[in-house]
Amino acid sequence: MTSENLDPSRLVSIKELSQSANVPVVTLRRWARQGKIPYYQPGGKNGRLFFPADAIQASESTSPASERSTPQAGRTPKWMS
């Protein structure tokens, strides 16, 4: 992810974002890898991830509602019928 539009003074760690947004760290890592939320990785490939404090809200407002609530393909389990 490019870092031109990220202000380093307003970045939070992955743990801080996880606690404030009530989202697991694993999910935040996956969203960053998929490009769903902006991030900054100053240490290179194996470095720590930093996020804008409003990364979750920004990604929800820019993605269409249809992408957020798309059901998975496949059969419906019997217990859901």
Q: Which residue has the higher pLDDT, 39 or 67?
A: 39
Model confidence pTM above 0.95: no
Regarding beta strands 50-52 and 11-13, do their DSSP bridges make them parallel or antiparallel, or are they unpaired?
antiparallel
pLDDT at 63 over 70: no
pLDDT in tens, 3-62: 456 666 789 999 999 999 899 999 999 999 999 999 988 888 888 999 998 888 766 655
The beta strands (E) that lie in 3-81 are given as 11-13, 50-52
Domains in the chain: boundaries: 9-61
- Work out the pLDDT band at 75, boundaries 50, 70, 90: confident
User: In the CATH hierarchy, which fold is given to the domain comprising 9-61?
Assistant: Arc Repressor Mutant, subunit A (1.10.10)
